[in-house]
Amino acid sequence: MSKIFVDEIVGNTGSTVSFPDITVPTTKKIVGTDTGSIYAPGMIIQMAGDTYAPNTHLDITTSDTRPLGTNLEVSLTTQSTNNKLYIQVFIPDLYNNNATTRALQAGFRYSTDSFSSSDVQLGDKETIADHESYHSSGMVLRGLNYFTWCSVPVAGAIKIQPRLQAKNGTFRIMANNTSAQGVCSMIVQEIAGWQVQYTQIK
């Protein structure tokens, strides 16, 4: 197998087109060897996800921060701090225990050591979705879908978990999670930004 080592590929300079395209012949393809091999700003470099379907409810207290733990956790090796992360979580059946002013606060945390000592805010704020299922007079039961867009905090292996904390008293999630109903899910995408360390195909 032949190898070509170059810093940049450009179109034929003899072309009358200012910036001619590079044409890949029919039935041929460019194959990357890892997540950074073929790169363009805005591309999804990698995507990972997780689900959790325990068939039971979970009560969250005002002192909890990551009550789902490894049950809903995404691991990935980020490529560059010039990239962005898009993170989305769905949690079914939020229930305020029929208690007025009770609610759920939600965000994201990440760790570089499986949360043994590293536990860091991910996103602009600790709480991204606030006062979820808050009601001033009675019962609320609804699903929660929240997300964030942020810079990659560190390049390397990280784990991401939802941050969930009750407000004004114990709060229940997956409240109707019986008879195989309701699934928690989380998706993480790393989106390419401008980077000088990758070769760009023009």
Provide the number of structural domains found in the chain. Answer: 1
**Beta carbons within 8 Å of 51's beta carbon, 6+ residues apart:** 72, 183, 184, 185, 186
| Cβ–Cβ under 8 Å, residues 109 and 85 | no
Report the predicted TM-score, pTM, of the whole model to 2 decimal places: 0.81
DSSP single-letter state for residue 141: E
Residue 19 falls within a domain, yes or no?
A: no
Residue 18 falls within a domain, yes or no?
A: no
* Per-residue model confidence (pLDDT) at position 179: 67
Residue 24 falls within a domain, yes or no?
A: no
The CB density around residue 58, as the number of other CB atoms within 10 Å, is 19
Residue 118 falls within a domain, yes or no?
A: yes
Which residue range is the domain that position 137 belongs to? 44-191
**Beta carbons within 8 Å of 127's beta carbon, 6+ residues apart:** 105, 106, 107, 163, 165
Residue 197 falls within a domain, yes or no?
A: no
Residue 165 falls within a domain, yes or no?
A: yes
Q: What is the pLDDT along the chain (202 residues), one digit of tens a residue?
A: 667 777 666 666 655 555 567 777 888 777 777 656 666 788 899 999 999 998 899 999 999 999 999 999 999 999 999 999 999 999 999 999 999 899 999 999 999 999 999 999 999 999 999 999 988 887 888 899 999 999 999 999 999 999 999 999 999 999 987 666 789 999 999 999 875 444 444 4
| Cβ–Cβ under 8 Å, residues 58 and 180 | no
Residue 39 falls within a domain, yes or no?
A: no
Instruction: Output the domain CATH number for residue 170.
Output: 2.60.120.1340
